[in-house]
Amino acid sequence: MPDFNVQVEGLGKCYRIYSGPMRRIVEGASFGRILGHRPFWALRDVNFTVKPGGSMGLCGANGAGKSTLLKVLAGTTHASEGRYRVHGRVSSLLELGTGFHMDFTGRDNIVSNGIMMGFSRRAIAAKSDEIIDFAELGDYIDEPVRTYSSGMGLRLAFSVAMAVDPDVMIIDEVFAVGDMYFQKKCVDKVYELKKRNKTLLFCSHSLYDVRQLCDEALWLRDGKTAAIGHTVDVTNDYSSYQRGHIDEHADGQVPRTTGRAPVVVDARIYRAGTDEEVYQATTGDSLEVRVWWKNPDPEQTPIHIGIGLFHDSSILAGMTTQFDSFAIRGDEGCTVGVLPEIDILSGNFLIAIYLLDGEGVHQYQQYLLREPLQVRFHERAEGLIHMRHRWEDRSDLELPAGLPRIREGRHGDVSSSGDETGETGGWTA
């Protein structure tokens, strides 16, 4: 068995750009002696390896080559140079509706997609109930796919792709549609694949999703590798690039600055009142999140700072200096968010720093701390928050009037009506 599931070496993809149809005809008629096109390299000299159980996130602007790379690896288009090797069964979600016949029903498309993936009709029939249950389309499963919304199409496509039980799963920005319930269901399924040592290639404009789902990240810019490495490092570099790009092309909606845009220089967690940097804490500890920042033009670009604590795909808590009417002044400094006696229970929590404009609307930067905060609670408890509580014995309190009557001798049998002395049996308050 190889020690990788995906290996890419010097991969490139070149498209031919013709100025008009006649140029294409002339080139064809001359058997290529007269060139009528100009080459456009959508992808050039890309190299990376993903081991079994690993996950690679792709980030970059529109047109950077992310989707082209995934299409090459999925086998839907050919590479122009270099080579790649994919070990195991591949399943991909590249574009919603790809491979679906719009006039076929959802059930018919399950069969046709399964056959295209190499399954027999018998094998697809055995998986159909599982696919339909996961998609939760109800009676719409027997309606034409052209009547589906984009979210319904995602449900069906994702369900079919997951039923294949792939060794390599390729996902391209499909979580942008669909309701939050099904998005969470999809994310849970992806986590399940990772736990089973499957490989994930994930492309998204949501850097938070990339950080949550992927161990490593690849930033593509103009078809070439701009950065590759640990997810936090690469996404922070990409965020800084985006921030500078926004500042260069600022319009009326984004305040112009005389120099660089506001920036978070560094952020770390300390034990409150000390200089001890900590990323492991116990419920009840007091912590400080110290944020060092620079703002070249505080008069024109007032700023606010936000702190977000995330667990899995949910935000546990969030706070901003704007909500608390705390003013940030000067062109550089350190703002400290004090978290006294944290009531968080055991778990790992990502901490993100947000640099916001004076209205708290525009986000200049999202800065993720390099290490998650590990919290431990040494008592028995459930959930994520330690709810302060106590128990009391108040047997002297009487039941409120008007409660439903309860049948004697049958636990949990509750009725709101009945004759106290009739054939229905004895009733007690």
Instruction: Specify the pTM.
Output: 0.60
In terms of Cα–Cα distance, which of 237, 185, 193 is closest to 211? 237
The helix (H) or strand (E) run that includes residue 33 is none
| Residue 238 structure tokens | 């990409």
CATH assignment of 6-237, given 3.40.50.11060, 3.40.50.300, 3.40.50.1980, 3.40.190.10? 3.40.50.300
Output the CATH code of domain 262-376.
2.70.50.60
- Sheet containing 216-221: order of strands: 90-93, 168-172, 199-203, 55-59, 216-221, 224-230
Domain residue limits, the chain? 6-237, 262-376, 403-429
Tens of each residue's pLDDT in the chain, 429 residues: 667 889 999 999 999 888 888 888 888 888 878 888 888 999 999 999 998 888 999 998 888 899 899 999 988 889 999 999 998 888 887 765 567 888 889 889 888 888 877 778 888 888 888 888 888 888 888 999 888 887 788 888 888 888 877 889 888 876 655 566 777 777 778 888 888 888 999 988 877 778 778 889 999 999 999 999 988 888 878 877 776 655 554 443 333 434 467 889 999 999 999 999 998 999 999 999 999 999 988 888 899 999 999 887 678 888 999 989 999 999 999 999 999 999 888 888 889 899 988 877 677 888 888 788 888 887 877 888 888 888 888 888 888 887 665 555 544 444 444 444 444 344 433
C-alpha 20, offset from chain centre: 41
What is the distance between the alpha carbons of residues 240 and 307, in angstroms, rounded to a whole number? 18
> Which residues have a Cβ under 8 Å from the Cβ of 151 and sit 6 or more positions away?
177, 178, 179, 182
Cβ atoms within 10 A of the Cβ of 419, count? 9
